[in-house]
Amino acid sequence: MAMLSRVAESLYWMSRYLERAENTARMINANANMMLDLPRDIRPSWDSLLTITGSEETFGTRYSSPNEGQVTRFLISDAGNPGSILSSLRAARENARSIRDILQREGWEHINELYLKAMARIPDSESPKRRFAYLDDIILSVQGIAGLIAGTMSHDEAYEFVRLGCDLERADMTTRILDVRWGDLSPDAKESLKPFENLLWMSVLKSMTAYHMYRRHCQTAVGRDSVVKFLMEDRLFPRSCHYCLRDMQDALNHLPQGNCVREKLSEATALVQDEEARRRTELRRFIDDLQVKLGEIHDALSGCYFDVEKMSPQQKQPACCNA
Amino acid sequence: MSLALQDYPNPDCFDELIDDDGAPRPHARALFDHLDSFSETDIQERKAATEAEILSMGITFTVYCENEGSIDRAWPFDVIPRLIRAEEWRTVERGLKQRTRALNLFIDDVYHGQNIVRDGVFPRELLADSRNFRPECVGIDPPLGVWAHVCGTDLVKDKDGRFYVLEDNLRVPSGVSYMLENRLVMKRVLPELFESYAIAPVDDYPAQLRQCLASLAPVANPQIVVLTPGIYNSAYFEHAYLAQQMGAELVEGRDLVVGSDDRVYMRTIEGLHKVDVVYRRIDDLFLDPEAFHPESVLGVPGLMRAWKKGNVALANAPGAGVADDKVVYTYVPDIIRYYLNEEPILPNVPSYRCVDPEECRYVLDHLDQLVVKPANESGGYGMLIGPKASEEERAEFAERIRQDPRNYMAQPMLTLSTAPTLVDHRAEPRHLDLRPFILSGRDTYVTNGGLTRVALKKGSTVVNSSQGGGSKDTWIIDGKGA
């Protein structure tokens, strides 16, 4: 029996939202850590996190100034921010709820519990003292759910959609983080931050829990080019763009159709691997290009598997795949 | 003894298991002997085990609430089963089959020649005003001539200990999943009892439903889907459960598409797959925005088109609700006589039709003794319970009846039967009803028993789960029990 498109889409988004919640939690903790290491007068403002998540505008309509308290509340618990951790967990839960017949019982229960726990403990997230533990708990819980799914769900088509959602969200977040940190450090950025450049790149690694793996696998000091290279190209680190794209290729091999997605994936992989020189000179534009590619991968997935309404019954195949 | 039957109040009504002298009826003796052997701790343990089973099996129903849109609640369940003797049940079963056969003939006639109107048995104006009559269905021939494939008929027992039909639910009757789950819980919590009785099994319902639905399609292995309004519907648990048990696909409206070839397809990751039978759990008016409410997003544009062409079977068929009308209900005994030339086996609750001037006058004069029901509401909405209403409420209702007599019927207050129900540590009488399910396809099938709903509040007769009702396992038992 072929899988319903709606079910595939719900699995995909459930996975993306879980990954998004985890990534946002990592990012906030890494940023807070970095801030503590920088002299008070030259700390970059918290609004760089808004830029990473592309939510400056929404923030502006709801808050007065991007200080630590307001930004973290906006990113963690604000129900009016569709990208906040709690909104993401809630969306993951709603998606999971609609496919309870597909997901194993424990999968649904853990996602449900995570949301309820995160809601109940919102006051912790608002205390700078307890926030770290709060976010760390969310990261571990999402990892637990991911482990449960990987370890107890049949690696069938449903599982491949979970994988696709997770990989794409990860690759997306990796490029976003690089983009913004590059903004903090671009030549026209504050001269005063220069001495702390390595510290900032270290925080980039830490926001992806990549620091230790970087140390083990790259025998170089933490610097811009080597960090970007690691997060882009490393073949073994599961949060690098290249790894995510390759894992998506693999997932697609277990699904029917999908040629148009494969094509977009190859293009993105080529960009990640072949453009090292360009990354050195025009990182920002390079990342823009890559983000466009990631967007195209999502669109191709949608066109191929989710928006089946675009096909006519006579055609019986998604339009993109006949091309 | 723990259940303290000697303290069991002698209710002023028929009790299913206890006779007027406070002793267990013969067929319930083995049950109470067994329960008697329990200590209070035993009873509490079984009760706790039941609750744990229900939670862990995820048996829930959905209640709407303000914050979250909806919330799943565990299903309230009573461990003391309701026993019905097989001899008695066989008559009920025959009565239910007779009734649904007649109802199906009636619906088919209403959308074709309307002979019953022409012959003066059923008033023409009632059809003209019927809110569930669908002009779109006139002239359509559904497979096998059957319209109401799944019928949930509510039965009650009055003081005389006889079953009466309270209403027929032909639109999207629910509750059958709880009937099935109740049995599973009982088997886990009180397995010893199953040794004492020969209990008719209920768990072939999903297979019977599948067979019934499959008989509507011309192909050998039809693609069957269960069409649900989605996770916020109060019966979503049941929709998912039945789909899973039948091996059918659970779909929402947006999963289906009707092609320019007027066939129904479901959207899968491999493209469009043809659908042959839709067991729809969406009301008529939301089924197809092209034919009914254009703003509805629950349904499937073009579904009616595909159905009319005979390219897909819909269960229940659109328009079947015309017989699910409390005023039409009052005609069912006549309908049975007219189409089958038989006397009704199961009686209706005596009813007054406000559309008849004489009966209407009687109703208006006796509002303080009657229950008045609007024709097309369900779930107990819009009713007047005369004896419990205030003078103003009755006056206001009388005005409504005068304005629109066709929309109302009235019945005397019934004294619903009770059965012993575990309340804290004691068995207390609680009122109940029974909803058996009747499947009509190529064959007709009646569930062994059905869903017994219990009003858990003392003295209450409201059994709806959304209003504090619970349920019991219903046993059709052969012989007297060991």
Tokens standing for A91? Answer: 């969306």
Residue pair A169/A241 in contact by the 8 Å Cβ criterion: no
Give the integer Cα–Cα distance in Å for A286 and B261: 48
Q: Are A166 and A146 in contact (CB under 8 A)?
A: yes
pLDDT at residue A138 in the model? 97
Euclidean distance between the first and the last CA atom of chain B, given in angstroms as a whole number? 21
pLDDT above 60 (res A306): yes
Furthest C-alpha separation in chain B: 71
Is the model's pLDDT at A85 over the cut of 80?
yes
- Which residue in B339, B292, B284, B331 sits closest to B124, CA to CA? B331
* Helix, strand or coil, per DSSP, at residue B270: coil
Residues B367/B401, Cβ–Cβ less than 8 Å: no
B38-77 residues touching A, CB cutoff 8 A:
58
pLDDT band per the 50, 70, 90 thresholds, residue A186: low
Which of A98, A257, A316 is opposite residue B272, by nearest beta carbon?
A316
Query: Can you give the pLDDT at residue A195?
Result: 78
Per-residue model confidence (pLDDT) at position B213: 97
Residue B104 backbone phi and psi in degrees, to 5: -65, -40
Expressed in angstroms, the distance from the first to the final Cα of chain A is 26
The answer to whether B341 and B330 have CB atoms below 8 angstroms apart is: no
The Cα–Cα gap between A134 and B125 comes to 67
Q: Is B252 near chain A, with CB under 8 Å?
A: yes
pLDDT at B447: 97
Q: What is the pLDDT of residue B3?
A: 63
Residue B251 · residue B266 · CB < 8 Å: yes
Q: With the C-alpha atoms ordered B56, B60, B64, B69, is the resulting torsion angle positive or negative?
A: positive
Average pLDDT of span A181-208: 75
Q: Which of B279, B123, B260 is nearest to B211 (CA)?
A: B279
Q: Which residues, 6+ apart, have CB-to-CB distance to B5 below 8 Å?
A: B18, B22, B23, B24, B32, B420, B427
Nearest-CA distance from B204 to chain A in Å?
21
**Cα R_g (chain B), whole angstroms:** 23
Taking CA atoms, B248 is separated from B224, B243, B302, in Å, by 5, 5, 22
Cα torsion angle, B399, B400, B404, B407, sign: negative
Give A 80-109 residues with CB within 8 A of chain B: 94, 97-98, 100-101, 105
Please report the pLDDT score of residue A148 as a whole number. 95
Q: Is A116 helix (H, G, I), strand (E, B) or coil?
A: helix
pLDDT confidence of residue B113: 94
The pTM of this model reads 0.82
What pLDDT is recorded for position A318? 39
* CA–CA separation, A25 and A27 (whole Å): 5
Task: Give yes or no for residue A316 having a pLDDT over 50.
Answer: no
Would you place residue A32 in the very low, low, confident or very high pLDDT band (cuts 50, 70, 90)?
confident
Identify any residues that bridge with B258 across adjacent strands, giving them in sequence order.
Answer: B264
Could you tell me where the DSSP H helices lie in B119-197? 124-129, 176-189, 193-196
Report strand pairing: B264-268 vs B77-85. Answer: unpaired
Q: How far is Cα A109 from Cα B368, in angstroms, rounded to an integer? A: 51
Which residues in chain B touch residue A164, judged by CB atoms under 8 angstroms apart?
none
The runs of H, that is alpha helices, within chain A are 5-37, 47-52, 56-62, 68-76, 85-98, 105-120, 122-125, 128-152, 157-185, 197-207, 211-217, 224-233, 241-253, 259-274, 276-281, 283-301, 319-322
Question: Which position has the token pair 């790259």?
Answer: A218
Q: Is A5 in CB contact (< 8 Å) with chain B? A: yes
What was the pLDDT predicted at B256? 95
Mean pLDDT calculated for residue range A104-126 = 91
Report the alpha-carbon distance of residue B79 to residue A291 in Å, rounded: 59
Lowest pLDDT segment from A45-49, A228-232, B311-315: A45-49
Q: Using alpha carbons only, what angle is made at residue B401 by residues B399 and B407, rounded to the nearest 5 degrees?
A: 150
- DSSP letter assigned to residue B385: E
Which amino acid type is present at position A189? A
**pLDDT for the residue B232:** 81
- Restricting to B residues 441-470, those with a Cβ less than 8 Å away from any Cβ of A are none
Three-class DSSP labels, B320-381: HHHHCCHHHHCCHHHHHHHHHCCCCCCCECCCEECCCHHHHHHHHHCHHHEEEEECCCCCCC
Question: Beta partners for B475?
Answer: B83
pLDDT score for B407: 87
Locate the chain A residue with the closest alpha carbon to B56: A105
The C-alpha atoms of residue B351 and residue B429 are separated, in whole angstroms, by 27
**What's residue A168's pLDDT?**
97
**Long-range Cβ pairs for the range A38-45 (8 Å, 24+):** A38/A196, A38/A199, A41/A192, A42/A190, A42/A192, A42/A193, A42/A196, A44/A184, A44/A193
Q: CA-to-CA distance for B344 and B335, rounded, in angstroms? A: 9
SS3 label, residue B74? strand
Interface pTM, i.e. ipTM:
0.77
Handedness of CA B270, B275, B280, B284 (dihedral sign): positive
A4 to chain B, any CB pair closer than 8 A? The answer is yes
B449 or A319, higher pLDDT: B449
Interface size A-B, in CB pairs within 8 Å, comes to 71
Q: To the nearest whole angstrom, how far is the Cα of B79 from the nearest Cα of chain A?
A: 26
Structure tokens at A23: 């990534």
CA B268 to chain A, closest CA, distance in angstroms equals 4
Q: Closest to A311 (Cβ–Cβ): which among B240, B249, B272?
A: B272
Tens digits of pLDDT across chain B (482 residues): 356 677 888 778 899 999 988 899 999 999 998 888 888 788 788 888 877 777 666 566 555 544 444 555 667 888 899 999 999 999 999 999 999 999 999 999 999 999 999 999 999 888 877 888 999 999 999 999 999 999 999 999 999 999 999 999 999 999 999 899 899 888 888 888 888 899 999 999 999 999 999 999 989 899 999 999 988 888 888 999 899 899 899 999 999 999 999 999 999 999 999 999 999 999 999 999 998 888 888 899 999 999 999 999 999 999 999 998 888 999 999 999 999 999 999 999 999 999 889 999 999 999 999 999 887 776 567 788 888 889 999 999 999 999 988 889 999 988 899 999 988 778 899 999 999 999 999 999 999 999 999 988 888 877 776 666 789 999 999 865 44
Asked if the peptide bond before residue B376 counts as cis, ω within 30 degrees of 0, the response is no
What is the structure's pLDDT at A321? 35
Q: What does the block give as tokens for B434?
A: 């029974």
